[in-house]
Amino acid sequence: MEHLERCAWFLRGTLVRAAVRRYLPWALVASMVAGSFVKEFSPLPESYLSNKRNVLNVYFVKLAWAWTFCLLLPFIALTNYLLTGKASLVVRRLSTLLVGTAIWYVCTALFSSIEHYTGSCYQSPALDGLRKGLQSKPQCQQEGGFWHGFDISGHSFLLAFCALMIVEEMAVLHAVRTERTHFLHMAVTALVVALGLLTCVWLWMFLCTAVYFHDFSQKVFGTMFGLLGWYGTYRFWYQKPFSPGLPPQSSSLNVKQDGYKK
């Protein structure tokens, strides 16, 4: 438990900082541009991470929203209840996950439609031999062909959006205090560590996507949609009265609080 406490303390001291929320969007853009520059002008040799079947991609990135949703759900519920003591406010804040799910669904559906309407079926990845009569990606692949269209990077979109959302929600930790011997303290500590490690995975795989996959323009659009999803919610809509609202920044409970200690 002591090691978990230390890890939680370290993550609180880094990811919870206001500077991280302020500069992370710019860091994502910079890493996308830098990684794309490497891919275009100085490609790295093939590695385990350049294989789409690597463990992080198959079991984490492809399920990025599910991981983010499942960890943020108890985290938002516990921390917001500790601060407000009101179930109605907790439910209101949990609706951010429904908004995030809607953004994920709409954007991925839009990306798929764009790839469909801009694509054609070819005999090989080198775009040799246009195969007529196959008007959809599933049909093309079933017939052994290769569908080529404008494939906006879903990874760039989702990893950026998930990382920014986690960092925004973790801002609540500035005010959360719990008795160190209480089971809620252990639960929040475990969730902080899990979310912190998940954010590190998302940022690392975002960089790997920039270095190994997609064209520059596809990653630009993917990252742009991720940033727009975050900005439109946390920087605009959630600051309005009729919205899920931002994470609470102070406690309304008058209880003895120890807090996380070094």
Q: 15 lies in a domain?
A: yes
Q: 221 lies in a domain?
A: yes
User: Which amino acid is located at 16 in the chain?
Assistant: V
DSSP 8-60: HHHHHHHHTSHHHHHHHHHHHHHHHHHHHHHHHHSPPPP-GGGSTTSHHHHHT
- Per the structure block, which two tokens stand in for 224? 């742009």
- The predicted pLDDT at position 26 comes to 97
Total structural domains within the chain: 1
- The predicted pLDDT at position 157 comes to 98
> In terms of C-beta density within 10 A (0-12 exposed, 13-18 middle, 19 or more buried), how is residue 186 classed?
middle
Predicted TM-score (pTM) of this structure: 0.91
Choice among 3, 116, 148, 155 that is catalytic = 155
Q: 123 lies in a domain?
A: no
CB 250 within 8 A of CB 56: no
- The predicted pLDDT at position 262 comes to 34
CA 64, 35, 108, 140 torsion: positive or negative? negative
Helix (H) or strand (E) segment spanning residue 152 = none
Over the stretch 185-236, which tens digit does the pLDDT of each residue have?
889 999 999 999 999 999 999 999 999 999 999 999 999 999 999 999 999 9
Assess whether pLDDT exceeds 70 at residue 27.
yes
Q: 254 lies in a domain?
A: no
Alpha helices in the chain (DSSP H): 2-15, 18-41, 55-59, 64-84, 87-117, 137-142, 154-169, 183-212, 216-234
155 is catalytic: yes
pLDDT bracket for residue 259 (50, 70, 90)? very low
In this structure, what are the phi and psi dihedrals at residue 121, rounded to the nearest 5 degrees?
-100, 130
Over the stretch 40-96, which tens digit does the pLDDT of each residue have?
999 999 999 999 999 999 999 999 999 999 999 999 999 999 888 899 999 999 999
Q: 17 lies in a domain?
A: yes
- Per the structure block, which two tokens stand in for 116? 């469909």
- Per the structure block, which two tokens stand in for 192? 């902080």
Q: Name residues whose C-beta falls within 8 Å of residue 60's C-beta, 6 or more positions apart in sequence.
A: 67, 201, 205
CB 123 within 8 A of CB 29: no
Q: 164 lies in a domain?
A: yes
Q: 57 lies in a domain?
A: yes
Q: Of the given ranges (98-107, 117-126, 191-200, 244-253), which has the lowest mean pLDDT? A: 244-253
pLDDT bracket for residue 110 (50, 70, 90)? very high
Q: 143 lies in a domain?
A: no
Tell me the β-bridge partners of 150: none
Strand pairing report for 120-122 and 146-148:
antiparallel
- The predicted pLDDT at position 140 comes to 85
Domain that holds residue 29: 2-39+53-117+152-239
> Residue 100 and residue 90: Cα distance in Å, rounded?
16
148 is catalytic: no
- The predicted pLDDT at position 244 comes to 95
